[in-house]
Amino acid sequence: MDQWFGFEIPHLIDAAIPGFIPTQTPLAHKAGPSPAEKQFRFTMLKPHQFLLTKKACPVKRLIATICLLISFSSAFAAPPASSHEISERQAWIEQQLPSLVKTYQWLHTHPEVSFQEQETAKYIADQWQKSGFEVTTGVGGNGIVGIIENGPGPTVMLRCDLDALPVMEQTQLPYASDVKIELPGGATTGVMHACGHDIHMTNLVATARYLAEHRDQWSGTLMVIGQPAEERGAGAKAMLTDGLFKRFPKPDFALALHVSGDKPTGAVGVLPGYALANVDSVDIRMKGRGGHGSAPHTTIDPIVQAAQLVMALQTIVSREVKPIEPAVVTVGSIHGGTKHNIIGNECELQLTVRSYSEAVRQQVLSAIQRKAKAVAMSFDAPPPEINISEGTPSLRNDDDLTARLKQVFESTLGTDKVSVDEPSMGGEDFSRYGREGIPILMYRLGSVHQSRLDRFKALGVPAPSLHSSQYYPDVEPTLTTGVLTMTGAALDLLKKPSP
């Protein structure tokens, strides 16, 4: 390697142009220019400019330019975390694992459904306070916010979600949840962290603790939040409405992870751009005129209307939406009638609608309304009642932030442990923070040991998915990878400025 203007330059030009030697700085003096140097030489004028002699051919100019740009990009790029720094963090995590497993098991055995996360929020707030965060509770309901200001620099927000699901656990784990609640209709159900939020919370307890204990490694403002009601798609909106980015610093970056039930422990996945979908719910009531089943000519049958509408809806995605634009219209529920020989007055349908872009979202919702009204009109029936409930907006990971942190994850875990995931038509209200103009990234965390995945494959059955009563993570390796990657990402984003 040559030293030139204080930077290391590869011998690319030497190999490409026989006899070429770049002009040297005092780091490597020469007595005088050689004939080759006289024929082709360049001299620094300004930080981003250099001068080539008129005798230089275009190819030589191009190669010299590339080498200079490579030298500057190498000189000013932030170096990745060293293997020593990663090993130190891994040793800290291993030391903390016994207490983190206890934290995880407490959270797993004390699940609370959306909007009822009081004890969960109190527990997490207490953990963050013990780590030295200034904690505010009751943000957007049961939301919590922890802040540490640690000198100049960006504000980075790390998010976890607090709520569990109304699912009866069937994992047979020694710490399986036996919590039960009564649903609004009077039925009783179990409550379970079937979507990994207990891992998310434990991970952020550990990440917050590490960063609080190692403030000498970063500079800026760290903001950790525990968000309620993610499973209802309402928690992020509630916190934002309650002034999340007005009462507290608005982040420069926001980061979250989500466990994956089909990705092995030790691995993570990222995806730039659209990763999760717009989620909308549509309720349609087709109206008719009831009567006896033996005299359908005297009625307007709402069930036949509904049946025709179900088939008409299938053509929206297949014949109206541009083929390269993802969209889903699913009729998940249809209810009408009371008895074999009675034609009722109404039939109700419930739809879930998924899309990525706002234009496609509006196109599909408009088409659903148009087709429902057209079916009713074709039967000379009263107009249908149509109610659209907007759920979560699509989640779009920031391209630059994703590329930056993908490199961090690769240097931490190895390139073979970091994949580029496929987009999903699922939904996540972490997307709302991105809609506030903040670069966001949600990445996937492997949570099932490879040996378990291999066993499911050998049995010819898929691994239990998230929201399954039989899903559970392999806790220690999942937390190890989660804390390693999230602390690494935070340290990179909060990197101290060079002296």
Residues taking part in catalysis: 163, 230
Listing DSSP states for 125-179 in one string gives: HHHHHHTT-EEEEEETTTEEEEEEEESSS-EEEEEEE--BBS----S--TT----
Listing DSSP states for 211-271 in one string gives: HHHTGGG--EEEEEEEES-TTTT-HHHHHHHTTHHHHSPPPSEEEEEEEEEEEETT-EEE-
> Residue 275 is inside which H or E element, if any?
strand 273-276
> Residue 447 is inside which H or E element, if any?
strand 440-448
Listing DSSP states for 286-315 in one string gives: EE-B-EETT-GGGSB-HHHHHHHHHHHHHH
Provide the 3-class DSSP secondary structure of residue 379.
coil
Structure token digits, residue 463: 């691994």
User: Which single residue is written with the structure tokens 């038509």?
Assistant: 425
> Residue 407 is inside which H or E element, if any?
helix 399-413
> CB-based burial of residue 24 (10 Å sphere; 0-12 exposed, 13-18 middle, 19+ buried)?
middle
> Residue 83 is inside which H or E element, if any?
helix 83-109
Contact 368, 354 (CB under 8 A): no
User: Which single residue is written with the structure tokens 């720094």?
Assistant: 85
Contact 157, 224 (CB under 8 A): yes
User: Which single residue is written with the structure tokens 């009081």?
Assistant: 118
CA distances from 209 to 126, 148, 437 (A): 12, 11, 28
Q: How far apart are the C-alpha atoms of 131 and 141, rounded to whole Å?
A: 23
Listing DSSP states for 315-373 in one string gives: HHHHHTS-TTS-EEEEEEEEEE-SSTTEE-SEEEEEEEEEESSHHHHHHHHHHHHHHHH
> CB-based burial of residue 297 (10 Å sphere; 0-12 exposed, 13-18 middle, 19+ buried)?
exposed
Provide the 3-class DSSP secondary structure of residue 8.
strand
CA distances from 339 to 13, 243, 380, 493 (A): 86, 52, 24, 63
